[in-house]
Chain A
């Protein structure tokens, strides 16, 4: 029998912060992989973030966004994508030849198209 009174114990049960890989939704990532295959080549070396115009002045890391998208941690990514200026410095630097600028554009597109995450 569930007790109906919610005792106030003075604390809340902490939520887990693990990335639950199996439960995450990777449709955004798959959308990008299909249209920009070079996205697969990213090794998260951080060259893009290092040179990033935006990242130097505000909390924005393209490297981090890449990895969050890959893991399906979409909620964290949605707002941040707007900050990218599409200047293209990241694409210049990437040692693996990832078309990072296109990844950002496609990610925005994917979010627009997805009902849940429409910006």
Chain B
């Protein structure tokens, strides 16, 4: 009899997992809380490091997961999660009951709610936006201020909601620095007259071709990098934003006016994932993401036999790593389903 696996979450990890499992002859129920799959990938315009279109990756994932062995349940959330001997009983919000031989949790991440960093004025000052908001502007090819005019000076603040004791996130979200550099280049591309300033604590370019992108941003696009944490943003009488930052490398405080401020919002454990952790008895780490049983050798395994993790629900990671992580989750599941042990 065919084995049945429930995959919770239809983002990058969930789609990869579902597609690969189905190709291996396993029946899959893919549960997605939104009305369509893709998760955050739907919001990104172009992906680092090569700035290729996110739609290409989405197309690949769609092709992979268009399989008769996958039953896709959209607008569906999990209300019940019980282990019954060696099977799992999953109940959805629509009252559907699913019996699974194994479960893969791929609930992903939520972007940090930037309004929590009150000093940056997100949701209060007109032209303070997040990196996600900026992607939307790239998509529409319309980088404009609230009053419709084109911004001339744009500031990008790194580490919003990450590496920050005040909001309870000690960890680094890993991808915001390279996103900032990518977005800085994209702004300069679309608005050749603009001046872009990145305010960083560190430049974390830990991925293939990331440092080269940073170099390109400086050399080819003239993006300015100022090392220092922006302490506050305020609105001036002429509707610009004025920021205060310590120019640490000059050893003096610096102030400047900007037309627009982009906040690099960090990644947090998703609300959906937190709920599953609660009802399923799954352990989370100090960073509130799911805790795998071993950091090095079994980063897909949860504390419950038969329940596995794939993707950013365990830690911030980029799309390349998410897909790799998803594939390793599939391997773990196949192994598990062979002899009922993991």
Contact = CB atoms under 8 A, between A and B. Distances in A.
Most buried by B among A17, A21, A96: A21
Given A44-B249, A67-B249, A21 B255 contact: yes
B247 A67 contact: yes
Contacts of B222: 33, 40
A79 B250 CA distance: 17
A71 B254 contact: yes
A18 B203 contact: no
Interface residues of A, number: 21
Contact of B250 (A22, A41, A71, A96): A71
A89 to B, nearest CB: 20
A14 to B, nearest CB: 14
A2 to B, nearest CB: 25
A115 interface: no
Contact of A22 (B224, B225, B251, B257): B257
Contact of B255 (A18, A41, A43, A68): A18
Nearest to B249: A44
B188 to A, nearest CB: 13
A78 interface: no
B244 to A, nearest CB: 8
A22 to B, nearest CB: 5
16 contacts: A18-B252, A18-B254, A19-B247, A19-B250, A20-B255, A37-B219, A38-B219, A41-B215, A63-B249, A64-B251, A67-B249, A67-B250, A68-B250, A70-B224, A71-B254, A96-B215
Given A21-B255, A68-B250, 18 more contacts: A17-B252, A17-B253, A18-B254, A19-B250, A19-B252, A22-B256, A22-B257, A37-B219, A40-B218, A41-B218, A43-B203, A44-B249, A64-B251, A67-B247, A70-B224, A71-B250, A73-B250, A96-B215
Interface of B: 203, 215, 218-219, 222, 224-225, 227, 244, 247, 249-257
Interface of A: 17-22, 33, 37-38, 40-41, 43-44, 63-64, 67-68, 70-71, 73, 96
